[in-house]
Copies of this chain bind each other. A is one copy, B any other.
C-alpha cells in the first residue's frame, strides 16, 4: 500500500483501492463497482488526478485510469487493441529504452504516456 493513499477522502480512497486491485479501469467500471452517480466518479477521479495518485490513459472513446504508486506500478506503455478496444499494460521500458527527455528544455514536463495500437493475440485468432 502506497503512502500516497493515506489521508484520502472516502470515495477517493475506494477508487484508489479498486484501481490498485484491478489494474486499469474506466469511469463506467468504477461507477458500477462503487454504485454511485457518474458525476461523483468523475469528480473524485479529477481530484485524484490533481493529487497525482492516479494516471489517466486516453483512448479513442474513453479514458482509463490506473494507480500511480511508482514502486508498485511504475510508468509503462499501454497497448490498445483496435478490434476489441481492450487496454493492456505493457512491461515498463528497460533503462536503455527509456526516452531521453533532456532535449525538451522548452517544456516543464509533468507526465509521459506511450500508447501502442494494434491487434491483440485474442483478436488475431478470431479474425
Give the interface of A toward B (CB within 8 A): 58-60, 77, 79, 81-82, 88, 90-91, 93-94, 96-97, 99-101, 103-104, 106-121, 124
* Shortest CB distance A122–B (Å): 9
Closest B residue by C-beta to A88: B107
Closest B residue by C-beta to A123: B108
Among A59, A81, A117, chain B packs the most CB atoms within 10 A around the CB of: A117
Among A91, A104, A116, chain B packs the most CB atoms within 10 A around the CB of: A116
Closest B residue by C-beta to A60: B58
* Shortest CB distance A1–B (Å): 27
In the bound complex, residues from chain B placing their C-beta under 8 Å from that of A107 are 79, 81, 88, 116, 118-121
Q: Check A104/B79 contact, CB under 8 A, given A111-B116, A111-B117.
A: yes
